[in-house]
Amino acid sequence: MAMKTNLEKRTGRREFLQAGAAGLALGVLPQGLRTAIAADPSLKIGVIGSGRIGSTLGGIWVKAGHEVMFSSLDIEHDKALAARLGGKARAGTSREAAAFGEVLLMAVPYAALPQVGKDLGELVKGKVVVDASNPIVARDGEVATWAREKGAGVASAELLPGARIVRAFNAIGFSRMAEAAQRPGERIGMPMAGDDVAAIAVASRLVREVGYEPVLIGPLAMGKYLMPGTPLAGENTPDKIRQVAASLK
């Protein structure tokens, strides 16, 4: 049986699952779940891949008060990163980060995702996984070709069975994300795709904390448009994202 996340324990698993089944409109989230997600001061986040995107987003979430465990293939790098960030940052192996996080950020080269899926196995079951990883053929080879044919979101779901995947943070450069919160005058949207309403709500909160307005473009199958080189790539206003997404359906 899938392990209960702390978020589920705090809100009640039944309510959490009902929320997931309820459809994609965030407005249908039960009040208790909405309150828990919005008001809980601190989430436990496991970062799988603490490179440019993982360290940038994880660093922002540490500053926002979350407990973040960073992981990669280089524990010394992650220990130094956690020490530099202070707060509630820590370092561990990818299995430790996956066990620690009620929410996971997947930020590895797509070529690593099949191995990551095998390494983490049961640990991702029932977890909210924010999937920033992109299949780039020139970098990731065959697995990227396969994933692009299948659609990036659906492919990630196959490689991480049981995870509640939300695609987000895919096609804006990490350096722009690092400073997004310092540009409060601009309303920039973050396109997201997912099938699980409760997971989308958690990811939306994390997107807001990075400085973007979450814009759900549709189910996980729409995740195929969330990667560099598509009409949704780059920074766009929420209205523009909705307009472009509607033309893709």
Ligand X SMILES: NC(=O)c1ccc[n+]([C@@H]2O[C@H](COP(=O)([O-])OP(=O)(O)OC[C@H]3O[C@@H](n4cnc5c(N)ncnc54)[C@H](OP(=O)(O)O)[C@@H]3O)[C@@H](O)[C@H]2O)c1
Smallest separation, CB 41 to ligand X (Å): 27
Kindly tell me which residue out of 23, 161, 173, 229 binds ligand X, with binding defined by CB under 6 A: 173
Assigned token pair, 240: 């523009």
Does residue 188 belong to the site contacting ligand X (CB under 6 A)?
no
Among 20, 30, 46, 54, binds ligand X (CB under 6 A): 54
Residue 37 has, within 13 A of its CA and on its CB side, a CA count of: 26
Q: Per rule CB under 6 A, is residue 186 in the interface with ligand X? A: no
CA–CA distance, 166 with 25 (Å, rounded to integer) = 14
- Using the contact rule CB under 6 A, the part of the chain among 84-92, 123-131, 155-163, 165-173 near ligand X is 165-173
Chosen residue from 40, 174, 208, 233 binding ligand X by CB under 6 A: 174
Based on the shown chain and the rule CB under 6 A, indicate whether residue 178 belongs to the binding site for ligand X.
Answer: no
The CB-side HSE value for 132 (13 A sphere, CA atoms) comes to 27
Residue 114 identity (one-letter amino acid): P
- In angstroms, what is the minimal distance from the CB of 111 to ligand X? 8
Print the binding letters for residues 99-128 with ligand X: x by CB under 6 A, - otherwise: --------xxxx-x--xx------------
For residues 70 and 56, the answer to whether their CB atoms sit within 8 Å is: no
Give residues 60-99 in contact with ligand X (rule: CB under 6 A).
72-74, 94
Alpha carbons within 13 angstroms on the beta-carbon side of residue 52 total: 10
Residue 75 and residue 137: Cα distance in Å, rounded? Answer: 28
Measured CA to CA, the distance from residue 198 to residue 220 in angstroms comes to 14
Q: Per CB under 6 A, which region of 32-40, 154-162, 166-174, 178-186 contacts ligand X?
A: 166-174
Identity of the residue, 33 or 45, whose beta carbon is nearer to ligand X in the bound complex: 45
Separation CA 82–CA 64 (nearest Å): 15
Q: Which amino acid is at 154?
A: V
From residue 133 to residue 152, the character string flagging contacts with ligand X as x (rule: CB under 6 A) and all else as - is xx-x----------------
Which CB sits closer to ligand X, 37 or 130?
Answer: 130
Residue 22 Cβ vs ligand X, minimum distance, rounded to whole Å:
29
d(CA 210, CA 93): 25
Q: Report the alpha-carbon distance of residue 146 to residue 226 in Å, rounded.
A: 16
Backbone torsions φ then ψ of 213, nearest 5 degrees: -95, 120
Give contact residues for ligand X (rule: CB under 6 A): 48-54, 72-74, 94, 107-110, 112, 115-116, 132-134, 136, 169-170, 173-174
